[in-house]
Amino acid sequence: MEAPAVLRYPLSMTTPIPEPAATAPAFELNGRRVELAGSDPTESLLRWLKRQRLHGTKEGCGDGDCGACTVAMIETDADGRSHYRAVNSCLLPMGSVVGREILTVEALADGEMLHPAQQALVDHSGSQCGYCTPGFVMSLFAGGYGGELNDHTTEGNLCRCTGYAPIRRATAELATLDFSADRFAEGLRRERQSAGEAMLGHYFSPTTVEGALALKQQHPEAAWIAGATDLGVGLSRGQTVASSFIALDRIAELQQIQKTANGWRIGAGVPLSRLESELGDAIPALGEMLRWFAARQVRNRATLGGNLGSASPIGDLSPLLLALDARIELRGPGGMRQVAADEFFTGYRQTVMARDELIVVVEIPAGDSTCMAYKVAKRQSDDISIVAAVFAIGLDEGQSIRHARLAYGGVAATPLRARGVEEYLVGRRLDRATVETACAMLRAAFTPLSDHRAGADYRRALCASLFDKFVAERFA
């Protein structure tokens, strides 16, 4: 591995290990403080709720796919503003809820009076067997106070018997209501700070990068954990994912999005729904990819760092970062270094990251190329990619191609650029003959696998047809 390009912030071996939080671990559930000392930090909130006989929150899949387990978590941003976020309780380890406020469906009705999110489903016959209903209610609840009441609000909630038309009608009615004046809106206005440092058993939640790195020295076997939408699946199934965890979701430095003279610096811990709302318009390919990335509940927790850290060949943000020439900033005990996104992945679920390094920032340069993202999956929403592709093409004044990036996920053990095709394109005009030759090259560029999602031939065909579609849509 090359020597670090830049070294800053060295963490000496004498950096003090942060003291565990002084107060007893606890969280607020439906307005009441609950002590957690002695609780298993890797048990999911869903399982914990069941053990407390709070049966309103339902379990469907146990791995983030159905939304039956949706609860609302209060999140306070750096400016002190609080929001309800719909999250999957099956993916939330108890270690991550310490110091937080959670609302379940039991908290919504006021005596006999239903909350508008419940009443709208009653009024529009949006519930038949009722199993999915608490999850829909909680998504609509969070959407109501967050100003998002459309199909995306409930895209992570599956209903097997009612059909979606009545639920969509309920959503449309809710969108006409004012959510700013009731006790839940009032609750959001209460002064509070973002969740602070915490510890539950071997689940550590530091608030600084230095603290996280120091904990890693003390617990070298610990796994970084951010939104837990990837690791939480294994935990939810009772797998021993790691012997201890260092959570990155309370580190303010990892939550920043900065516009610089050359582009953007995005903290590795920024949840994807924030990326979607804050950068979706500025970087349209990012906005487009995030539209089809999992569902609202997952995007409310999942992070960019976690997507890269999981190093999945079908991680949807990796081809985007490859196509945009992004750089990944890593921090470890030796200091900081930057790696080109293109050099980050070294093999199936392997990266250049050392065990004691973590991703802190992703730098995306501003460019003037035309860039767009495409995702093909079996289901349009909330599904894993068969192939994801991101293309960036820049033309010079004479209409010849001066810049070409064609990046793919789902075609090999790592996300890859079609470098041979990029080289072929540069210097040529983007006419039909060029596109046809490029497409023929793309059909032969990779040797993807056949699996339960799709055959290798289909994946190869997609590599070409998506590029063809990009040119037709953007350069016609």
Ligand X SMILES: Cc1cc2nc3c(=O)[nH]c(=O)nc-3n(C[C@H](O)[C@H](O)[C@H](O)COP(=O)(O)OP(=O)(O)OC[C@H]3O[C@@H](n4cnc5c(N)ncnc54)[C@H](O)[C@@H]3O)c2cc1C
Choices 56-64, 222-230, 262-270, 356-364 (CB under 6 A): range interacting with ligand FES: 56-64
Binder of residue 264, out of ligand X, ligand FES, none (CB less than 5 to 8 A by kind): none
CB 217 within 8 A of CB 244: no
Binder of residue 424, out of ligand FES, ligand X, none (CB less than 5 to 8 A by kind): none
Q: Which of 442, 459, 299 is nearest to 377 (CA)?
A: 459
DSSP assignment of 59-72: -SSSSSSS-TTEEE
Q: How far is the CB of 446 from ligand X (least distance, A)?
A: 18
Q: Distance between CA atoms of 30 and 72, rounded to whole angstroms? A: 10
Q: Which of 41, 96, 358 is nearest to 208 (CA)?
A: 358
Q: How far is the CB of 305 from ligand FES (least distance, A)?
A: 22
* Residues in 130-169 at the binding interface with ligand X, rule: CB under 6 A: none
Residues 305, 313, 319, 410: which binds ligand X (CB under 6 A)?
A: 305
* Residues in 58-87 at the binding interface with ligand X, rule: CB under 6 A: 63-65
Is 75 one of the binding residues for ligand FES (CB under 6 A)? Answer: no
Which ranges in 175-271 belong to alpha helices (H)?
A: 183-189, 209-218, 231-236
Is 27 one of the binding residues for ligand X (CB under 6 A)? Answer: no
CB 459 within 8 A of CB 448: yes
CA angle 317/446/327 to nearest 5° reads 30
Binder of residue 130, out of ligand FES, ligand X, none (CB less than 5 to 8 A by kind): ligand FES
Q: Residue 476 has what DSSP assignment?
A: -
* Residues in 397-426 at the binding interface with ligand X, rule: CB under 6 A: none
Among residues 107 and 317, whose Cβ is nearest to ligand X?
Answer: 317
Q: Distance between CA atoms of 321 and 255, rounded to whole angstroms? A: 18
Interface pattern 194-233 for ligand X (x via CB under 6 A): -----------------------------xxxxxxxxxxx
Interface pattern 155-184 for ligand FES (x via CB under 6 A): ----xxxx----------------------
Q: How far is the CB of 214 from ligand FES (least distance, A)?
A: 34
Is 98 one of the binding residues for ligand X (CB under 6 A)? Answer: no
Query: CA-based Rg of the chain, rounded to a whole angstrom?
Result: 23
* Burial of residue 67, with CB atoms counted within 10 A of its CB: 0-12 exposed, 13-18 middle, 19 or more buried: buried
DSSP assignment of 6-33: ---S---TTSPPPPPPSSPPEEEETTEE
* Residues in 84-103 at the binding interface with ligand FES, rule: CB under 6 A: 88, 90
17: its two tokens: 């290990």
Among residues 179 and 224, whose Cβ is nearest to ligand X?
Answer: 224
Binder of residue 392, out of ligand X, ligand FES, none (CB less than 5 to 8 A by kind): none
The residue at minimum Cβ distance from ligand X is 306
Q: Is residue 417 classed as helix, strand or coil in its secondary structure?
A: strand
Q: How many residues does the chain have?
A: 476
Beta strand residue intervals within 288-326, DSSP E = none
Q: Applying CB under 6 A, which residues contact ligand FES?
A: 59-62, 64-69, 88, 90, 127-133, 159-162
Q: Applying CB under 6 A, which residues contact ligand X?
A: 63-65, 223-233, 248, 268, 293-294, 298, 301-303, 305-307, 309-310, 315-316, 358-359, 384
